[in-house]
Chains A and B, each alone.
Chain A
Amino acid sequence: MWAARLLGAFGRQAGERDFARELESHLQLHIDDAIRSGVPAGEARRRAVLALGGIEQTMERWRDQRRVPLVEPLIQDLRYGVRTLRKHAGFTAVATLTLAIGVGANAAIFSIVDAILLQPLPYPEAERLVLLWGHRANAPRSQVSSTDIADVRQSARSFVDVATFSDWTPIVSGASEPERINGIQVGDGFFTVMGVAPLLGRTFTSEEQIEGNDRVIVLGHALWQRKFGADPAIVGKRIKMSGVEHQVVGVMPPDLGSLPLTLLNAPGEFYRPVAEAYDSRERASRHLRALARLKPGVSLPAAQREIDVLSFRLAQQFRLTNAGYRMQLVSLQEDTVGTVRPTLLLLMGAVIAVLLIACVNLVNLLLARSAARQNEIALRAAIGASGGRLVRQLLTEHLLLAGAGGLVGLGMASLMLHALNALAATALPQFATRPAALDGLVLAFTAVLTVLATLVFGTVPALNARRTALAAGIQTAGNRVSAAGPLARSLVVSEVALAVVLLFSAGLLVRSFDRLQSVAPGFTAEHRLVMNVWLPSATYREPQRNLSFYRELVERVEVLPGVTRAGLVSTLPFRSFDQRSIELAGRPARPEHVPTLDTYIVSPGYLPTMGIALAEGRAFNRFDTKESAPVVLINRTAARALFPGESPVGKRLRFYDGRPDSQERWREIVGVVADVRHYSLDRPATLQLYAPQAQLPSTSMVLVVQTSGPPRALSATVRQQIREIDPELAAFQIATMDEVIGDSLATRRLALALVGGFASLALLLGAVGIYGVISHWVARRTREMAIRVALGARPAQVQRLVMRLGLRLTATGALIGAGISLAFSQVLAPHLFEVRAADPVTLGSAVLVLGASAVLATYLPARKATRADPVTSLRAE
Chain B
Amino acid sequence: MTKSDVLQGTLAFMVLKRLDSLGPLHGYGLARRIEQISGHQLAVNYGTLYPALLKLEQQGYVTSAWGVSDNNRSAKFYRLTRAGRARVQAAAHEWDQAAAILQKFLRLGEDPA
Contacts and interface: CB of A to CB of B under 8 A. Distances in A.
B90 A384 contact: yes
Interface string B10-32: 00000000000000001111010
Contacts of B45: 51-53, 58
B36 interface: no
A66 B57 contact: no
Contacts of A613: none
A25 B48 contact: no
Given A22-B76, A26-B27, A28-B73, A58 B47 contact: yes
A487 B69 CA distance: 60
Interface in B50-76: 50-51, 54-55, 57-60, 69, 71, 73-76
Nearest to B71: A32
Given A1-B60, A22-B27, A32 B54 contact: no
Nearest to A63: B51
A57 interface: yes
A154 interface: no
Q: How large, as a class, is the contact surface on chain A?
A: 20 to 34
B99 interface: no
A53 B48 contact: yes
Contacts of B86: 384
A459 B31 CA distance: 41
A282 B8 CA distance: 102
B102 interface: no
Interface in A19-69: 19, 22-23, 25-26, 28-30, 32, 51-54, 57-58, 61-62, 64-66, 69
B95 interface: no
User: A interface, by DSSP: helix, strand, loop or mixed?
Assistant: helix
Interface string A733-759: 000000000000000000000000000
Given A26-B27, A26-B28, A1 B58 contact: yes
Contacts of A299: none
Q: Which of B54, B60, B74 has the most CB of A within 10 A?
A: B54
A65 B47 contact: no
A23 B47 CA distance: 9
Interface in B74-100: 74-76, 83, 86-87, 89-90
A64 B71 contact: no
B16 to A, nearest CB: 11
A386 interface: yes
A29 B75 contact: yes
Contacts of A66: 54
Contact of B47 (A1, A4, A18, A52): A52
A5 interface: yes
Contacts of A69: 55, 58
A63 to B, nearest CB: 9
B58 A57 contact: no
A18 B74 CA distance: 12
A65 B54 contact: yes
Contact of B74 (A4, A25, A388): A25
A175 interface: no
Given A22-B27, A32-B71, A61 B46 contact: no
A384 B83 contact: yes
B53 to A, nearest CB: 9
Contacts of B69: 29
B12 to A, nearest CB: 12
Contacts of B89: 384
Contacts of B47: 52-54, 57-58, 61
Contacts of B60: 1, 386, 388
Contacts of A29: 26, 28-29, 69, 71, 73, 75
B75 to A, nearest CB: 5
A25 B58 contact: no
Given A22-B27, A28-B73, A32-B71, A4 B58 contact: yes
A29 B50 CA distance: 15
Given A53-B47, A61-B51, 9 more contacts: A5-B58, A26-B28, A28-B73, A52-B46, A52-B47, A58-B45, A66-B54, A69-B55, A384-B87
25 contacts: A4-B58, A5-B58, A18-B76, A19-B50, A22-B75, A25-B26, A25-B28, A26-B31, A28-B73, A29-B26, A32-B71, A32-B73, A52-B47, A53-B47, A53-B48, A58-B45, A58-B47, A61-B47, A61-B50, A65-B55, A383-B90, A384-B86, A384-B87, A384-B90, A386-B83
Interface of A: 1, 4-5, 18-19, 22-23, 25-26, 28-30, 32, 51-54, 57-58, 61-62, 64-66, 69, 383-384, 386, 388
A-B pairs with lowest CB-CB distance, top 4:
A53-B45, A58-B47, A53-B47, A65-B51
